[in-house]
Amino acid sequence: MFHKINKIPLYVIASLLFGIKTYIVYRFLFNIELDNVMQEIILFINPFVSAFLVFAISVWLKQERQMKFIRYASLLGSLILYFNLVFYRNFSDFLTIPVLFQGSNAADLGSSILALIHVWDLLLFLDVMIIWYLSKKYTSTFTVSYKKRKKALAFSLSIAFLLGNYILAEIERPQLLQRTFDREYLVKNIGIFNYHIYDVVQQSKSKAQRVFADGNELTEIKQYMQENTTDQSETDLAGIAKDKNLIFISLESLQSFVINNTLHGEEVTPFLNDIIDESYYFNNFYHQTEQGKTSDSEFLVETGLYPLPSGAVFFTHGQNEYNSTSELLKNNGYSSSVFHANNKSFWNRDVMYDNLGIDQFYDVDAYEVTDENSIGWGLKDKPFFEQSIKYLQSLPEPYYSRFITLTNHYPFDLAEEDATIDKFDSNSKTLNQYFQTARYMDESIKDFFDQLKESGEYEDFIIVMMGDHYGISDFHDKAMAQYLEKDKITPYDHIQLQRVPFIVHIPGEEGKTISKIGGQIDVKPTLMHVLGVDDSNDLSFGTNLFGENRKEFVALRDGSFISNDYIYTKDQCFNRETGELIVSDDESSTEDEGKSVESTCAPIQEQVQEELTYSDQIIYGDLFRFHDFQNGNLENKQK
């Protein structure tokens, strides 16, 4: 058998083995949506194109280096693929260059990483072992002094395959590299390795933006904000919480599907369900985070800007100049603090908080953490709130304090004695455990409210609670469909599952449920409105959620959006109320087929991309260094 194989160059064998392995990962381990036969074909060929492009380089090397190159290229490629798979299992996303620079977070992940690694993952390195065996055992057989003609042939084929792949991708998805809000589209059309090369180029371009920025870019952006996002109209709630202490609770990984819902006949979040009746509750409120997750939600609340399409702003642009919620409130006599029982360096918070003007950060060193009162990511929520009270009572008033919970975090582990609701029964351990940790967090918030009431200062607070990001990724769609009693989770359902609770509780106010759409980017102007703080000189893409002149859409970071009437995602336009698919962007439409994209999603989609691009320009160019927020004028404030 071997005498037949050895007639095939080793770089070709390596390309075939690596291509097959990569395709299996794409097709069966990543949850990549395939809408038509063309997408199936492109997904199949791009792993082989990428593999051949790399391994064919070996023909240009000296004979003694050929085998070593193929061995290490196979190993490195497999590690890149595997790291993406592990990351994808948690975040349903792919690695980016900024995420790699967040490696300092990895030491704190603990059980989260272990839960993402499976024993059978070793099979993903089977091709590497085969290549190493062949290259070592039959070095002299596979090592060849290639003639110029064969070198040129290998090079020509590499370029031809690459161009063919790109042409097919452009046919399937026009302007693929210009419309890059969705990393999944890049991976399924050009492959994960070409996507990483593209990511490196994009990150290099973003670094250059700050160098060449001069502040003139802000003129156009300010005009856009004034025309589309600014709302200074008065409402009955304007200043209703003026000079009150503001407590903001970040509800870790809490999605709205558990609110007012049951498991085994029991309410999952009984306290939140009750407090909603006494609060302003927004039931169509969406998280807008990306790879920075909790830190992205903090960024949205503090700045009114969108997080970046890759990496976490807290890491990549923590030294930028911003006009934060903390700084706005400080100008009105407020002190500010954050309570979070985790390492201060996680998500680069120690640097970013200082830059945002936050006065005090109570990190893990401020708490007594033991084996009994901690699990998973650290201190359980109940002792976290209990130990925080003494610090809260010592703060100068009025104050703005944010609490970031931990227990309801992947992999959603909880000690048996802390569980007060049975697990769900599905094929997803993650979803099964999620309900228990969500219930535990709900109970911890109830205890915290009781403690505030016992302090006698409850009436002096405004308490805001917000889910920070999704907890259950689309990797668990089958189990989620089972819980929601659906046949499957469609792209429409996926967007609706990005809703998170947003609750504004003002003691003494009756409150009500508000069904208008909103997102985390709207939190900053909303808080300023109820606290009676003048933010007329602020620059933000958010709109006061209590106002009438609301923006007509909520933009998600991947370019999807929710409008009053429509939901747009993955090039598909849905009726927001019914979930009915109206038309795909990639299809033609006649009047008989219904409304065209021209009159539905396309115009809003263009504005969404414009708004996301403007936000990116502010961050990449550090444009706020050119702006004086005291008088609202542009001026050179370079550090």
User: pLDDT tens digit string along 411-446?
Assistant: 899 999 999 999 999 999 999 999 999 999 999 999
CB-CB contact of 470 with 258 (8 Å): no
CB-CB contact of 463 with 443 (8 Å): no
Q: Is the predicted pLDDT of residue 98 greater than 70, yes or no?
A: no
Q: Is the predicted pLDDT of residue 587 greater than 50, yes or no?
A: no
d(CA 510, CA 528): 20
Q: Is the predicted pLDDT of residue 310 greater than 90, yes or no?
A: no
pLDDT given for residue 147 in this prediction:
82
d(CA 525, CA 509): 20
Q: Is the predicted pLDDT of residue 545 greater than 90, yes or no?
A: yes
What residues contact residue 498 under an 8 Å CB cut-off, 6+ apart?
Answer: 255, 286, 287, 470, 556
pLDDT given for residue 289 in this prediction:
97
Main-chain phi, psi angles of 153, to 5 degrees: -65, -45
pLDDT given for residue 593 in this prediction:
43
pLDDT given for residue 117 in this prediction:
81
Q: Is 262 a catalytic residue?
A: no
Mean pLDDT score across all residues of the chain? 88
Q: Is the predicted pLDDT of residue 352 greater than 80, yes or no?
A: yes
Q: Is the predicted pLDDT of residue 571 greater than 90, yes or no?
A: no
The pTM of the whole model exceeds 0.75: yes
What residues contact residue 401 under an 8 Å CB cut-off, 6+ apart?
Answer: 245, 246, 247, 248, 336, 337, 338, 339, 392, 395
pLDDT given for residue 590 in this prediction:
40
CB-CB contact of 377 with 342 (8 Å): yes
For residue 446, the Cα-to-chain-centroid distance in whole angstroms is: 28
pLDDT given for residue 229 in this prediction:
86
- How far is CA 11 from each of CA 39, 80, 511, rounded to the nearest angstrom? 27, 19, 68
pLDDT given for residue 315 in this prediction:
82
Q: Is the predicted pLDDT of residue 236 greater than 70, yes or no?
A: yes
Q: Is the predicted pLDDT of residue 10 greater than 70, yes or no?
A: yes
State the distance between the two ends of the chain, measured CA to CA, in whole angstroms: 69
pLDDT given for residue 588 in this prediction:
42
Q: Encode pLDDT of 133-181 as tens digits.
A: 988 888 877 777 788 888 888 888 989 998 998 888 888 877 777 655 5
pLDDT given for residue 148 in this prediction:
84
% of the chain residues with pLDDT over 90: 61
> Which residue would you say has higher pLDDT here, 58 or 297?
297
- How far is CA 107 from each of CA 60, 104, 113, rounded to the nearest angstrom? 40, 6, 10
d(CA 616, CA 594): 35
CB-CB contact of 240 with 490 (8 Å): no
Of 22, 230, 294, 405, the active-site residue reads 294
pLDDT given for residue 103 in this prediction:
58
pLDDT given for residue 64 in this prediction:
80
d(CA 624, CA 637): 8
Mean pLDDT confidence for 105-128: 75
pLDDT-derived band at 597 (thresholds 50, 70, 90) equals low
Q: Among residues 54, 588, 501, 84, which one has the least CA distance to residue 283?
A: 501
d(CA 629, CA 539): 8
Q: Among 127-141, 267-281, 509-523, which stretch is predicted with the lowest mean pLDDT?
A: 127-141
Q: Is 119 exposed, middle or buried (CB count within 10 Å of its CB: 0-12, 13-18, 19+)?
A: exposed
pLDDT-derived band at 636 (thresholds 50, 70, 90) equals low
Which residue do the tokens 């979803």 mark? 431
pLDDT given for residue 6 in this prediction:
60
Domains of the chain with bracketed CATH? 2-208 (no CATH), 217-634 (3.40.720.10)
Say which amino acid occupies 329: L
Mean pLDDT confidence for 556-584: 92
pLDDT given for residue 34 in this prediction:
83
CB-CB contact of 190 with 198 (8 Å): yes
pLDDT-derived band at 464 (thresholds 50, 70, 90) equals very high
Q: Is the predicted pLDDT of residue 482 greater than 60, yes or no?
A: yes
> Which residue would you say has higher pLDDT here, 123 or 4?
123
pLDDT given for residue 592 in this prediction:
37
